[in-house]
Structure 1
């Protein structure tokens, strides 16, 4: 038998087809209801567990779905006047469940008109929609934060750059550091980035000639919030670039000691990050005056952005940086 785009073998029998259709309806989360034009039910398949059939009584829209939904469903069906007419509605059934009702007037093989109602569980669809909206809001929020950081970097870099070439070199490096941190945050579905991953990014890019082992890390590999990840990544960029450009740890084969630890401060969990870099006499002056924006980032921009505090010292024999901020700080 061929009818439009539907075909089946009549000899298979109704029982075979009934199992096929019911299995399909269960799989897609759909209910099929058939009524005559007086509203009497002749078939209900795969009714959602939320709705109940009453034993010993013929089903009605009200007994199946309750007063409110039954009333709305009756109004929807009253708009169907000719075969082929159809109408739809989506209802909130409570307890965070949602269903779509599709009603259509059809003509059966015996020539009589009937009302067909398809009920589709849209709960998961609505949850996905809410999640998507939340993610889009998060993207918007993160984008605005990132643009504000970039604006600050551009302004401060320009302030302390003596030439266009100097500005472009520093600005590109800092943007790349932000981009790397953002990649880690995105890969974690915006849960943040681990401290050692942030540091490793900078080591891989700037520390060459097999000197990566000279940066020694101890303490905890803490997961930082997205906002903290961006700014800690920027601080590590400044420290690493200054160490490579103006320090002598590679030439002297002296280790830079980096720590990250969880501490308790002011009644809350906090993060303390330290950087201790050996410094030769000939390099102290270069480190102290090499990159005033580096100092601005390390001493002002980063700690302010994570609601923390910082200590940055260039002393005879070493460079010391300490950043402390709440573990859950977010911007």
Structure 2
């Protein structure tokens, strides 16, 4: 109970608890009047009330309590100020099963205790709170007391904030580790002074091709540099130095894996890690295996170059095709008797050109053979290639694409003539087309094609069809092929027989 009187000077101090100790009627407590306290209790109380460390005294058989301003701030309104002069077991009923035995041991003459970061939940501010404490129980010597211990001095600190921060840091580190363990990129940390790795994630082994424990051993910074191809090594060393100076840098370099000798592209993002004072104490990094991306980039560059080449080839072919169409049109116009005659003959030749273009499309990058062109023209004009009247014989001879168009037009003229006026027009005629590849006297490869028709009506051949004297087909073989393909050609019309030869270089 509090009495209304002017207190004495003891205990000295201007804090709230010093004032409460002076004003409390201690004679109504198990401790009795403060003037009768033993010296050890008075000294301990004086010390407690004049320090800013949270301190608490339990004294005597009832463990009567005295505490200071710093401890008061940890108690909550449920206990302060009623706890002053009250028995400990009454004040701390919900945790007495934890602290009671510890106090009893010290009061019984046992050693001082130390408890660090211990969970001791307490009720304060209207709720039971999980509170972590670091505290010690120390005996206060008193000769007249049982076992020579008059009470227990408690020095304590509420470390809940630090404990939760530590738990959060551990959880964050665990999440970071789980992230690193699952990442296909390699995460690493280097010491800013030695530049040695202190942490590597499992992806390192996949990317670099060596075990982590081996990579972390010894002077691993030097070992890392040795993995980098010589052309990239100095730049990588320079960039690490810049990161130590505080820069954040993303850069690419190549390493040669010791396991299989494979070259891998790495894209690293390196950054400084600072302490509380802003000093760089470590270097962090994320290393991404960019090998596949580099391969795709190279493939795209190659594809783009090939596309440009194809576009150039297409433009070249288009110009040539337009030129061929113009030539055909001029020559057909000159030899046509009427517009209807021009329309039919011109259409036939455009269709022949179209077939060649279709052959180009179907073959793509594949070579076009002599047999492809011969069979294409004869089949398009309705010749029965399986009959005994038609024989096609020759080796697989590849033609250069620049020659296919002009050669196919010549074959179209020969085939048209055979179907409409020659060997395949009459029931008794026959056609033999043979070719072979050979080396001339200079060692260069040439193609010789022989077109032979028998059983023809010579009078019709001489007066009708494209192969008549001065006709478009005849001029194409005797004039255009030698000019455009450097070919040697012959055309001979005999009694019931036609012989045509085309001998051309096979420069591929």
Taking structure 1 as the reference length, what is the TM-score of the superposition? 0.71
Aligned to 1:118: 288
- CA drift of 1:193 comes to 0.9
Aligned to 2:268: 103
In the superposition, relative to structure 1, how do residues 281 and 125 fare at CA in structure 2: closer, same or farther (>3 Å)? same
Asked if the contact 2:332/2:345 (under 8 Å) is kept, the reply is no
In the superposition, relative to structure 1, how do residues 82 and 58 fare at CA in structure 2: closer, same or farther (>3 Å)? closer
3-state DSSP of counterpart to 2:290: strand
Aligned to 1:302: 481
1:293 to 472, 479, 500: 472
1:148 aligns with 2:317: no
2:226 to 35, 47, 63: 63
- CA drift of 1:105 comes to 4.8
Q: Which ranges of structure 2 fall in alignment gaps of 5 or more residues?
A: 1-173, 210-214, 257-261, 277-281
Asked if the contact 1:246/1:283 (under 8 Å) is kept, the reply is yes
In the superposition, relative to structure 1, how do residues 89 and 308 fare at CA in structure 2: closer, same or farther (>3 Å)? farther
3-state DSSP of counterpart to 2:371: helix
1:256 aligns with 2:431: yes
- CA drift of 1:118 comes to 1.6
1:227 aligns with 2:381: no
In the superposition, relative to structure 1, how do residues 239 and 65 fare at CA in structure 2: closer, same or farther (>3 Å)? same
Query: 2: CA distance between counterparts of 1:232 and 1:86?
Result: 62
Query: 2: CA distance between counterparts of 1:59 and 1:272?
Result: 70
3-state DSSP of counterpart to 2:503: strand
1:244 aligns with 2:414: no
Superposed, which structure 2 residues align to 1:25-174 within 5 Å? 32=186, 34-36=188-190, 38=192, 39-41=195-197, 42-43=199-200, 44-47=204-207, 57-60=219-222, 62-74=225-237, 78=242, 87-89=250-252, 100-105=265-270, 114-121=284-291, 122-123=294-295, 125-127=297-299, 129-161=301-333, 162=336, 165-174=340-349
| Higher RCO (CA 8 Å, separation ≥ 6 residues) | 1
Aligned to 2:105: none
Asked if the contact 2:434/2:450 (under 8 Å) is kept, the reply is yes
In the superposition, relative to structure 1, how do residues 222 and 211 fare at CA in structure 2: closer, same or farther (>3 Å)? closer
- CA drift of 1:280 comes to 0.4
Query: 1: CA distance between counterparts of 2:196 and 2:341?
Result: 83
Superposed, which structure 2 residues align to 1:277-288 within 5 Å? 277-278=453-454, 279-285=456-462, 286-287=464-465, 288=467
Query: 2: CA distance between counterparts of 1:153 and 1:55?
Result: 76
Query: How many residues are paired up?
Result: 300
- CA drift of 1:48 comes to 5.9
3-state DSSP of counterpart to 1:45: helix
Describe the superposition over 1:91-141 as per-residue Cα deviations: whole angstroms up to 9, x where unpaired: 799xxx986543325799xx9872112232224641563255135314422
Aligned to 1:5: none
In the superposition, relative to structure 1, how do residues 155 and 140 fare at CA in structure 2: closer, same or farther (>3 Å)? same
3-state DSSP of counterpart to 1:274: strand
Asked if the contact 1:102/1:119 (under 8 Å) is kept, the reply is yes
Asked if the contact 1:87/1:102 (under 8 Å) is kept, the reply is yes
Aligned to 2:93: none
Asked if the contact 1:184/1:192 (under 8 Å) is kept, the reply is no
3-state DSSP of counterpart to 1:250: coil
Query: 1: CA distance between counterparts of 2:310 and 2:400?
Result: 13
3-state DSSP of counterpart to 2:220: coil
Asked if the contact 1:76/1:87 (under 8 Å) is kept, the reply is no
Describe the superposition over 1:145-182 as per-residue Cα deviations: whole angstroms up to 9, x where unpaired: 34214313322432332355544444443333333333
Q: Which ranges of structure 1 fall in alignment gaps of 5 or more residues?
A: 1-9, 26-30
- CA drift of 1:263 comes to 1.8
Aligned to 2:503: 324
Q: Which moved more, 1:37-46 or 1:312-321?
A: 37-46
- CA drift of 1:261 comes to 0.9
Query: 1: CA distance between counterparts of 2:329 and 2:263?
Result: 53
In the superposition, relative to structure 1, how do residues 128 and 259 fare at CA in structure 2: closer, same or farther (>3 Å)? farther
3-state DSSP of counterpart to 2:376: helix
Taking structure 2 as the reference length, what is the TM-score of the superposition? 0.49
